[in-house]
Amino acid sequence: MAGRYDVIVLGAGAAGMMCAIRAGRRGRSVLVLDHAAAPGEKIRISGGGRCNFTNIHAEPKNFLSANPHFAKSALARFTPQDFIAMVERHGIAWHEKTLGQLFCDNSAKDIIRMLTDEMRDAGAQLRLRTEIGDIDQTAGGYRVSTSEGAFEASSLVVATGGKSIPKMGATGFAYRIAEQFGLPLVETRPGLVPLTLDPQLLQRLAPLSGIAAPAEIRHDKTAFREALLFTHRGLSGPAILQISSYWREGEEIMVVIEPDIDVFALLKKAKQGNGRQSAQTALAEILPKRLAQHVVESEGISGNMADQSDKRLQQLAAAIQSWNVKPSGSEGYRTAEVTLGGIDTACLDSRTMQVKTIPDLFFIGECVDVTGWLGGYNFQWAWASGHVAGEAA
């Protein structure tokens, strides 16, 4: 056997490293195993390379789960302020970009360095490039067979993330371990992902590819106000990524472009003020030129503003502010930032992330059925769930 530890953590991502730090600081001997060549690869690419490491407004309502109350305990016990304190102890400069989203001033690598330094100081060992094979329960805990030999520990923490971005080593391994131990899973699907459109609609919208506009995207009772981006595959931008976690195949979303402006009132005013102006010119006051041109043409509007009845103006405004669209699908795990669903929280103790029926087995981070909004919430869940498991493992 290659070694015995108090705690083995599978996965050196955000949650696994945070758990290792906390357990190590408690004096537990900790081994972290990962098949990747470097720890925290998703941290490295996150937030456009600057890591949106938390959100100061993080609250349970910003998370999706079959049990919306489950995340409360961990989130209350390790808060954004706790993470900010760690960032500041390491002298990492940060700023709030928008909507409570905190980013590194320099590089996401600062966060990875902070976590690996903390792990080292806590005495936690990290083994990379290690393929994990069988996991067996033993009299003394767990035995993990790997490409580097077998390791044993009293506690096993599974922190191998979800299925998003397989190119970066995401495997869905945690779900296989859950199945092995007979634990229930909530169906997984890609979240925070661009939505695609059917080829006919895509062809009509092709001229808009690359255009961004402020928008409110609605689905059922949920709405997000952020930027909308037209792409060569469909719709993207933060507002679409946010709603994608709520949307299901076959359903419609409503797009309200420029939600802070009453477009109908604006068009009426433009008609009264300058009747000789074209509808396209009037609209281009508030919309990108190409978008204004597209809407006017696709609504079949010609002539100047004086020629347009109120009904026509209402129709034009509705095309911009009540656009019901049925996405054909999503870009899938290839580009999804997160995986929705996962280990059913019903089988976990919310204070420790320990499996209720199996001693000393823990699941943390993205593999659990808790998924945050876009904007630093998912890392906050990784830190918080990792921290509470590290207190108990």
For ligand FDA, which residue of 31, 102, 115, 165 counts as binding (CB under 6 A)? 165
64 touches 246 (CB < 8 A): yes
Closest distance to ligand FDA from the beta carbon of 361 (Å): 16
Q: Which two tokens stand for residue 250?
A: 């076959």
Distance CA 176, CA 65 (A): 20
Question: Which one, 258 or 337, has the nearer CB to ligand FDA?
Answer: 337
Strands (E), 220-337: 222-230, 234-236, 253-257, 323-325, 329-330
Residue in 144, 188, 134 with CA at minimum distance from that of residue 166: 188
Q: Does 366 contact ligand FDA by CB under 6 A?
A: yes
Under rule CB under 6 A, residue 169 binds ligand FDA = yes
End-to-end CA gap in the chain: 22
Which residues, listed in sequence order, are joined to residue 226 by a DSSP beta bridge? 215
- The site map against ligand FDA for 11-30 (x = CB under 6 A) is xxxxxx--------------
36 counts as binding ligand FDA under rule CB under 6 A:
yes
347 is an interface residue for ligand FDA by CB under 6 A? no
List phi, psi (to 5°) of 209: -55, 130
The alpha carbon dihedral of 271, 277, 279, 283 has a sign of negative
Binding test (CB under 6 A) with ligand FDA, winner from 234, 237, 341, 365:
365
Q: Using CB positions, name the residue nearest to ligand FDA.
A: 13
Site for ligand FDA in 121-140 (CB under 6 A): 132
Q: How far is the CB of 137 from ligand FDA (least distance, A)?
A: 19
In sequence order, what E strands does 203-312 have?
212-219, 222-230, 234-236, 253-257
Among 137, 171, 277, 293, contact with ligand FDA (rule: CB under 6 A): 171
Report the nearest approach of ligand FDA to the CB of residue 6 (Å).
Answer: 20
Q: How many other CB atoms sit within 10 Å of the CB of residue 86?
A: 17
- Tell me, what DSSP letter sits at residue 98? S
Nearer to ligand FDA, 160 or 345 (CB): 160
Contact 43, 13 (CB under 8 A): yes
Binding mask 50-89 for ligand FDA (x = CB under 6 A): -xx-------------------------------------
DSSP 48: G
Q: How far is the CB of 299 from ligand FDA (least distance, A)?
A: 37
Q: How far is the CB of 291 from ligand FDA (least distance, A)?
A: 27
Q: Which residues bind ligand FDA (CB under 6 A)?
A: 11-16, 34-36, 41-42, 45-47, 51-52, 132, 159-161, 164-165, 169, 171, 173, 337-338, 365-366, 376-379, 382
